């Protein structure tokens, strides 16, 4: 597959540190189109610019929209790698089915991203802790107001040089356990990276923010008791005798780093389980001194230790230091991502060797 590239004649200044998250965008973007008649066609890398979109496009009215998040890293020898892009290609293909959208073929997904990252490779930051965040997005772009799956789609990829997701940097985050609103119910969209899941989570997070919370932890829709996820992260609980993350049962996003952490913890011989876990069990274990750590995992958030988890009027606090499991996982994963440890699990897709 040949992807034509139109170079941006007006490249932007590279941003200064600190980068924050999702504030800056590179000089180019990847775009491809789908119609029922032609299938996927016209893939290209073009200068970063607004997308021409009909105001009647399905994405604006019926939320036919989903995205992915993955990262490219620069190694000390200037080699650029992308972390597990095949995982994101597969997850997007599966999610597209649920949203009645055509799946983006893996080759188009990977080739589009690789071509774009190669064109904008000078934007991949050098500093450990920063990376180039890749945001593939699939939207219904047919202009039609009848409620049915659109017949036309646009797949685009944009890039953003980023540092940590949370404004507190690598400091432990403060999480509010939400009991009133819900993020997802069984049979809904919870396990899909649908844009709609993020808007459904916005209000609770917005109400929690002025009280000092970085995010909210979602409970199940029926019992308001089973722990699900944090919306921007999956969660892990380190008990004295067991490490637990909620089992995937349709309402939780199957996170890429969740999978990596499960694999690493198992390989370290830790007793890790995917199972149902209630907030009451967590609160009880905390009182009994049996709950040692809580942390979140996500592409943007990487591994984020939770310093405080507040459930009703119970504020559970957790210590975090170099011996914490979350710190060990953070170190192992980032060492692999930045090429400081061998990639024995084949997580990195090498882009090209680039001389600076």
The answer to whether residue 297 forms part of the interface with ligand COI (CB under 6 A) is no
CB of 278 to ligand COI, least distance (A): 25
Q: Which of 300, 305, 343, 350 is nearest to 327 (CA)?
A: 305
299 binds ligand COI (CB under 6 A): yes
- Residue 123 has a CB neighbour count (10 Å cut-off) of 22
88 touches ligand COI (CB under 6 A):
no
Site string for ligand COI, 42-61 (x = CB under 6 A): --------------------
Closest to 263 in 3D by CA, of 297, 217, 229: 297
Q: By CB under 6 A, tell whether 69 contacts ligand COI.
A: yes
The CA-CA-CA angle for residues 245, 247, 249, to 5°, reads: 150
Q: 141 or 232, CB closer to ligand COI? A: 232
Q: How far is the CB of 157 from ligand COI (least distance, A)?
A: 13
DSSP characters over 132-164: EEEEEEEEE--B--SSS--SEEEEEEEEEEE--
Single out the residue of 125, 172, 246, 298 in contact with ligand COI (rule: CB under 6 A): 298
Judge whether 334 and 128 are in contact, CB under 8 Å: yes
Residue 177 is a binding residue for ligand COI (CB under 6 A): no
Binding mask 120-159 for ligand COI (x = CB under 6 A): ----------------------------------------
Smallest distance from the beta carbon of 166 to ligand COI, in angstroms?
Answer: 11
Tell me how far, at minimum, the Cβ of 230 lies from ligand COI, in Å.
10
Number of residues that make up the chain:
356
Nearer to ligand COI, 165 or 338 (CB): 165
Q: Does residue 83 contact residue 348 with C-beta atoms inside 8 Å?
A: yes
Helix (H, G, I), strand (E, B) or coil at 69: coil
Under rule CB under 6 A, residue 160 binds ligand COI: no
**Residue among 300 and 336 whose Cβ is closer to ligand COI:** 300
Helix (H) / strand (E) containing 257: helix 256-267
Report how far apart, in Å, the C-alpha atoms of 52 and of each of 49, 56, 174, 194, 214 are. Answer: 9, 12, 40, 22, 35
Pure H helices in 99-232: 106-119, 195-200, 202-208
Is 300 one of the binding residues for ligand COI (CB under 6 A)?
yes
Interface mask toward ligand COI for 225-244; x: CB under 6 A: -------x------------
Q: Rule CB under 6 A: is residue 190 a binding residue for ligand COI?
A: no
- Summarize as ranges the residues that interact with ligand COI (CB under 6 A): 69, 232, 298-300
């Amino acid at each position: 597959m040949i992807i034509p590239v139109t170079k941006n004649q007006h490249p932007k200044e590279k941003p200064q540190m600190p980068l924050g998250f999702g504030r800056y965008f590179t000089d180019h973007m990847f775009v491809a189109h789908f119609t029922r008649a032609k299938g996927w066609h016209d893939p290209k890398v073009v200068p970063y610019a607004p997308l021409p979109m009909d105001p009647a496009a399905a994405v604006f009215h019926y939320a036919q929209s989903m995205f992915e998040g993955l990262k490219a890293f620069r190694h000390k020898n200037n080699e650029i790698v992308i972390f597990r892009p095949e995982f994101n290609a597969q997850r997007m293909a599966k999610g597209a089915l649920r949203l009645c959208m055509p799946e983006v073929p893996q080759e188009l997904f990977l080739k589009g991203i690789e071509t774009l990252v190669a064109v904008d490779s000078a934007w991949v930051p050098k500093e450990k802790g920063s990376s180039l965040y890749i945001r593939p997005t699939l939207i219904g772009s047919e202009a039609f107001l009848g409620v049915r799956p659109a017949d036309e789609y646009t797949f685009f990829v944009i890039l953003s040089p980023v540092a940590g997701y949370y404004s507190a940097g690598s400091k432990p985050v403060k999480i509010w356990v939400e009991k009133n609103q819900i993020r997802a119910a069984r049979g809904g969209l919870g396990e899909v990276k649908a844009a709609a899941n993020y808007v459904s989570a916005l209000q609770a997070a917005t109400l929690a923010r002025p009280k000092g919370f970085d995010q909210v932890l979602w409970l199940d829709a029926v019992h308001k008791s089973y722990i699900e996820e944090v919306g921007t992260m999956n969660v892990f609980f380190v008990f004295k005798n067991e490490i637990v993350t909620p089992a995937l049962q349709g309402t939780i996003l199957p996170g890429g780093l969740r999978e990596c952490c499960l694999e690493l913890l198992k390989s370290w011989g830790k007793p890790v389980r995917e199972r149902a876990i209630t907030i009451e069990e967590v609160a009880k274990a905390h009182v009994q001194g049996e709950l040692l750590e809580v942390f979140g995992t996500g592409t943007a958030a990487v591994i984020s230790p939770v310093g405080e988890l507040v459930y009703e009027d119970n504020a559970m606090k957790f210590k975090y230091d170099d011996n914490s499991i979350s710190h060990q996982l953070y170190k192992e994963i980032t060492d692999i991502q930045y090429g400081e440890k061998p990639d024995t699990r084949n997580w990195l897709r090498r882009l090209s060797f680039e001389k600076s």
